[in-house]
């Protein structure tokens, strides 16, 4: 693995592929070839002599990451990872000690005094009247700060050559080390650890949730806004969004169906998180509606 850089991930297509073309082939066509690969249309080919045998989970090692090797890696949402904060704990999985990174994640300690955060909470509004024989449930969104102060796992990225099974194994290895390292000491404030996953995108690379809701309050393209405002961009977005109850049932069906659903690139990570006790309680990201998974010290 020496010398194999972390592949830059996928580029988002801004134009949907032709009707009838398999989605996986369109996604492959959008991905930038990694080292040792050539991109021919919809298929990524590996050059002769490139050996994938060193990607077996057996013998993998988890190590503290060097700041210079993770800054700029492309995350699961297709955006470059910011440089780690000074107090962050950052790990990488390697096929061998000192080798190239196969996957990475970070942990940061929450601060309820200075770190204001915001999410939507999915809920229900029920309208009932016996004399009118009315009983109607409607899905709702309410902006709030419930998880402000939570510890957080974030900064997720994997090498493009990892398949889904190996990616799940890589996330599991990272989570074992991360959760052992950050288990709160007795007497610490009881608070959750969260992991926010990227939400669904359509074939054109657009977020149905952003197109239906966010863009009416912020005129920029979602990716451009995230790039301009950086890691704290959702805090900026929260100041523009309505504070009152939003009826999600009035959004287009594509947006309703995307709420709480993780992008395909994050499915392996979600599976690994659930296996170590994370669960979803209805919180979603402000921009793309991706799920926010929670793990509480007392159990989910």
- For residue range 74-118, list pLDDT tens digits in order: 899 888 887 788 888 999 999 888 888 889 999 998 876 677 889
Q: Give the mean model confidence (pLDDT) for residues 204-215.
A: 92
Residue 60 domain flag: no
pLDDT confidence band for 5 (50 / 70 / 90):
very low
> What percent of the chain shows pLDDT beyond 70?
77
For 128, the token pair is 């009932």
Residue 170 domain flag: no
Q: Across the chain, what does the average pLDDT equal?
A: 79
pTM of the model: 0.76
pLDDT digit string (tens) for 224-268? 877 777 767 788 888 889 999 999 999 999 999 999 999 999 999
If one compares 181 and 43, the residue with the highest pLDDT of the two is 181
User: Does residue 9 register a pLDDT over 90?
Assistant: no
If one compares 205 and 219, the residue with the highest pLDDT of the two is 205
Residue 15 domain flag: no
Within 10 angstroms of residue 24's Cβ, the number of other Cβ atoms is 10
pLDDT digit string (tens) for 119-172? 999 999 999 999 999 999 999 999 999 999 899 999 999 987 787 888 999 999
Residue 134 domain flag: yes
Residue 19 domain flag: no
Q: Strand, coil or helix: what is 159?
A: coil
Q: Rounded to whole angstroms, how far apart are CA atoms 76 and 150?
A: 21
Residue 261 domain flag: yes
Domain span at residue 121? 111-145+191-300
Q: 94 exposed, middle or buried (CB, 10 Å; 0-12, 13-18, 19+)?
A: buried
Counting the structural domains of the chain, the total is 1
User: Does residue 56 register a pLDDT over 70?
Assistant: no
- 94 near 140, Cβ under 8 Å? no
Residue 94 domain flag: no
- 292 near 119, Cβ under 8 Å? yes
Q: Rounded to whole angstroms, how far apart are CA atoms 253 and 259?
A: 10
Residue 238 domain flag: yes
């Amino acid at each position: 693995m020496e010398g194999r850089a972390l592949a830059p991930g996928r580029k988002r297509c801004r134009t949907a592929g032709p009707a009838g073309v398999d989605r996986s082939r369109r996604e492959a066509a959008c991905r930038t070839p990694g080292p040792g690969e050539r991109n021919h249309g919809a298929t990524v080919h590996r050059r002769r002599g490139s050996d994938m045998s060193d990607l077996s989970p057996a013998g993998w090692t988890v190590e503290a990451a060097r700041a210079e090797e993770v800054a700029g890696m492309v995350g699961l949402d297709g955006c470059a990872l910011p440089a780690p904060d000074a107090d962050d704990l950052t790990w990488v999985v390697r096929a061998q000690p000192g080798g190239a990174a196969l996957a990475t994640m970070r942990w940061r300690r929450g601060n309820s005094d200075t770190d204001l955060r915001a999410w939507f909470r999915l809920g229900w509004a029920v309208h009932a009247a016996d004399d009118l024989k009315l009983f109607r449930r409607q899905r709702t969104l309410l902006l709030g700060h419930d998880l402000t102060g939570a510890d957080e796992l974030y900064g997720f990225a994997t090498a493009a050559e990892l398949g889904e099974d190996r990616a799940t194994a890589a996330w599991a290895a990272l989570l074992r080390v991360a959760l052992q390292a950050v288990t709160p000491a007795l007497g610490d404030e009881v608070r959750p650890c969260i992991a926010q996953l990227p939400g669904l995108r359509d074939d054109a690379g657009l977020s149905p949730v952003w197109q239906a809701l966010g863009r009416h309050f912020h005129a920029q393209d979602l990716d451009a806004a995230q790039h301009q405002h950086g890691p704290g961009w959702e805090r900026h977005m929260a100041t523009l969004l309505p504070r009152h109850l939003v009826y999600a049932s009035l959004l287009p069906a594509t947006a309703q169906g995307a709420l709480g659903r993780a992008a395909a690139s994050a499915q392996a990570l979600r599976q690994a998180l659930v296996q170590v006790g994370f669960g979803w309680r209805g919180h979603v990201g402000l921009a793309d509606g991706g799920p926010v998974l929670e793990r509480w010290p007392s159990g989910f």
